[in-house]
Copies of this chain bind each other. A is one copy, B any other.
Amino acid sequence: MGKEVPGGYHGKILRVNLSNKSTTDEAIDELFCRRYLGGVGFISYYLWKELKQGVDALAPENMLIFALGPISGLQLPGAARHCVGAKSPMTGGIAKAEVGGFWAAELKRAGYDAIIVEGKADKPVYLWVQDGEASIRDASHLWGKETKETETAVRDELGDNRVQLALIGPGGENKVRYACIMHGLHDAAGRGGLGAVMGSKNLKAVAVRGHKLPRLADRERIKEIRQQLLARVDAIPFPISEFGTGGFEMLWEESVGNLPVRNFRDGLFPEVKQIHAGVIKDTIRVGMEGCFACPIRCKKVVQFEEPYNVDSAYGGPEYETLAALGSNCGINNLKAIVRGNHLCNAYSLDTISTGVTIGFAMECFEKGFLSTKDTDGIELRFGNDEAMLKSIELIARRQGFGNLLAEGTARLAKKIGKGSEAFAMQVKGLETAMHDPRTKTGLGLGYMVTPAGGDHCCNMMDLFVADEKMLKPLNPLGMIDPVPVMDIGPRKVGMFKVMQSSAIIEDSMVTCLIAPFTFQLKADVLTAVTGWDTSIAELLRVAERVLTVARLFNIREGFSAADDVLPERFFQPKTDGVLADKQLDKAKFEKAKSFYYTLMGWDAKGVPLPEKVEELYIE
């Protein structure tokens, strides 16, 4: 590898130590960039290489990393994303979350490939990064503010309305374990408690603004690829720009049993027809928005004032939020769900973990494991929308019962006991997303083995490999035989590895999973941007490296194969609906896990073999 910085990179990261108020530029070289690409690749590497074993996730020593990829922020559809990571306060392993919007594009133009924040400020601060200059500024006056007030105040203070902010509200400040980091007001780096890490550092916001892209290896070719992508955007067969996620397909999700209903316990939720994005479009939606340079406007903008205020600035709920705060809590009041979304974005709370934690508490309440004495008088029953909204307020401020809810499902279950762990819907401490392995087995394997825990993004959707037509995008990888949705044999494991790798590639480059990049286009755009003679095969190898580094990090933090397990509930049938007589077979999942380890070059205990680590040049 040459010494020259490859196209698409600045070859420079910003290292910030809040304890001693230092900001330092640090060079990264081409070999490192090619080995890890960026995004989750960079994050996994730095956590593994630098973070001392056993550091508390909320201690100053934890590292909070914002990492772009070579594609992040370029003038391309689906390229507005970056990845944020840290040691997770939820799991104690790696937390990583991708996010879109406009922040990545500004940081790219501000001259950095990544920002690593360490230490803890002695009082609230925010970081201001502009065109290669970084400063740490007082944020005492912003502490306690919701995200919208914060964004407005910082932009006013800096005198530039185009400053983009990664920021936290009270949820992050109060170190709610599943606090997220908002980017703008409706794009969340959601999972794993990154907002709590930010709060623990007394870091209110990272404000960025820039004007200069790095060198790009072949601008003409990038333009061609842009045209190809735009043509493919026009051909997207589902109405993503009309409904975003959570449209009419939610009716189908319910009909096949995938929709989580009352803490994943039940199957039937006919009221789904009142809470999907088709209804949103016809009632409260005022528009659709997109990310930087992307014509796919997949984000709902909603607004209403009665019975609660919902500010259009906070965007509208995605499928995950509609299900987590809705059906999963037995709630059929669309406006309450949307208000819940507004609150989570204002307070910087992950809507998935919030909804699953509340749903779990509701089930405990109904079972008598919790009473109104525990819940500050709240009748925490499924379907009680006011209880859900009240809970969010308490969580964000860690007030009363909220202080317990703020710890997340796993810790709550441990405290409650009485067998509640069996229906605590989490893996490694991270709440599962709104997809039920009882309807898609490969996703279940993903929940088990994905380094971050119960995550659906670095995972597979089994439907996409279940028929010839859906499978077409994977044909170039030699995946030419469809695998049934409910198969969890070796063929599904093989598919899973490819799909998981695909997600890791997206999260390293960083690109959006909704944007119609084919595998070949990912390789093509990487070549055009960096100048490397690369291919799909190299991307798969990078994914294997990144997943292995993340695994090594988790193992050093004490994880083992025993942590790669699903909640017991998934091995039970649902109470009603099409899955009332179906359940997963635990032995088959254990076998699948074991074969996944084999395919990864890990031993029977899930520990990467030293030879494999060496072969992948993890050093």
Interface on A for B, CB 8 Å cutoff? 1, 31, 34-35, 468, 472, 475-478, 480-481, 489-491, 493-494, 519-520, 532-542, 591, 595, 598-599, 601, 609-612, 614-617
Q: Give Cα distance in the complex from A1 to B538, angstroms.
A: 26
Cβ–Cβ < 8 Å partners of A610 in chain B: 490
12 cross-chain CB contacts under 8 A: A1-B480, A31-B480, A35-B480, A475-B534, A476-B538, A477-B538, A478-B539, A478-B540, A536-B536, A591-B611, A595-B615, A598-B601
- CB A526 to nearest CB in B, in angstroms, measures 11
Pick the 10 closest A-B CB pairs, nearest first: A478-B541, A478-B538, A476-B535, A490-B611, A490-B615, A494-B615, A490-B614, A536-B537, A595-B611, A477-B537
Is there an interface contact between A533 and B475, defined as CB atoms closer than 8 Å? yes
Q: Which residue of B lies closest to A34 (CB)?
A: B480
Is there an interface contact between A535 and B477, defined as CB atoms closer than 8 Å? yes
Q: Which residue of B lies closest to A473 (CB)?
A: B533
- CB A530 to nearest CB in B, in angstroms, measures 12
What is the interface of chain A mostly: helix, strand, loop, or mixed?
A: helix
Which residue of B476, B539, B541 contacts A534 across the interface (Cβ within 8 Å)?
Answer: B476
Cβ–Cβ < 8 Å partners of A35 in chain B: 480
Cβ–Cβ < 8 Å partners of A481 in chain B: 31, 617
- CB A524 to nearest CB in B, in angstroms, measures 11
Q: Which residue of B lies closest to A519 (CB)?
A: B535
Is there an interface contact between B615 and A609, defined as CB atoms closer than 8 Å? no
Cβ–Cβ < 8 Å partners of A533 in chain B: 472, 475-476
Cβ–Cβ < 8 Å partners of A540 in chain B: 478, 537
Is there an interface contact between A491 and B537, defined as CB atoms closer than 8 Å? no
- CB A362 to nearest CB in B, in angstroms, measures 41
Known contacts: A476-B533, A541-B477. The answer to whether A491 contacts B617 by CB under 8 A is yes
A478-B534, A489-B611, A493-B611 known; 5 other A-B pairs, CB under 8 Å? Answer: A31-B481, A35-B480, A477-B538, A478-B542, A491-B617
Cβ–Cβ < 8 Å partners of A609 in chain B: 595, 598
Known contacts: A472-B533, A475-B534, A519-B535. The answer to whether A598 contacts B611 by CB under 8 A is yes
Q: Give Cα distance in the complex from A615 to B31, angstroms.
A: 33
Which residue of B537, B599, B612 contacts A601 across the interface (Cβ within 8 Å)?
Answer: B599
Cβ–Cβ < 8 Å partners of A601 in chain B: 598-599
Q: Give Cα distance in the complex from A611 to B491, angstroms.
A: 8
- CB A70 to nearest CB in B, in angstroms, measures 15
Q: Give Cα distance in the complex from A500 to B535, angstroms.
A: 19
Is there an interface contact between A489 and B535, defined as CB atoms closer than 8 Å? no
Q: Give Cα distance in the complex from A468 to B31, angstroms.
A: 12
Is there an interface contact between B612 and A490, defined as CB atoms closer than 8 Å? yes
Q: Give Cα distance in the complex from A522 to B494, angstroms.
A: 24
Q: Which residue of B lies closest to A30 (CB)?
A: B480
Is there an interface contact between A537 and B537, defined as CB atoms closer than 8 Å? yes
Cβ–Cβ < 8 Å partners of A493 in chain B: 611, 615
- CB A493 to nearest CB in B, in angstroms, measures 7
Q: Give Cα distance in the complex from A593 to B475, angstroms.
A: 31
Q: Give Cα distance in the complex from A611 to B497, angstroms.
A: 14
Cβ–Cβ < 8 Å partners of A31 in chain B: 480-481
Q: Which residue of B lies closest to A591 (CB)?
A: B611
Cβ–Cβ < 8 Å partners of A494 in chain B: 615-616
Cβ–Cβ < 8 Å partners of A541 in chain B: 477-478
Cβ–Cβ < 8 Å partners of A477 in chain B: 535, 537-538, 541
Cβ–Cβ < 8 Å partners of A478 in chain B: 534, 537-542
Is there an interface contact between A491 and B614, defined as CB atoms closer than 8 Å? yes
Q: Give Cα distance in the complex from A591 to B538, angstroms.
A: 26
Cβ–Cβ < 8 Å partners of A490 in chain B: 610-612, 614-615
- CB A470 to nearest CB in B, in angstroms, measures 14
- CB A391 to nearest CB in B, in angstroms, measures 45
Known contacts: A598-B601, A601-B598, A609-B598. The answer to whether A476 contacts B537 by CB under 8 A is yes
Cβ–Cβ < 8 Å partners of A611 in chain B: 489-490, 493, 591, 595, 598
Is there an interface contact between A475 and B598, defined as CB atoms closer than 8 Å? no
Cβ–Cβ < 8 Å partners of A1 in chain B: 468, 480
- CB A557 to nearest CB in B, in angstroms, measures 25
Cβ–Cβ < 8 Å partners of A537 in chain B: 476-478, 519, 535-537, 540
Q: Give Cα distance in the complex from A537 to B611, angstroms.
A: 22
Is there an interface contact between A615 and B535, defined as CB atoms closer than 8 Å? no
Is there an interface contact between A615 and B476, defined as CB atoms closer than 8 Å? no
- CB A50 to nearest CB in B, in angstroms, measures 22
Q: Give Cα distance in the complex from A616 to B31, angstroms.
A: 33
Q: Which residue of B lies closest to A541 (CB)?
A: B478
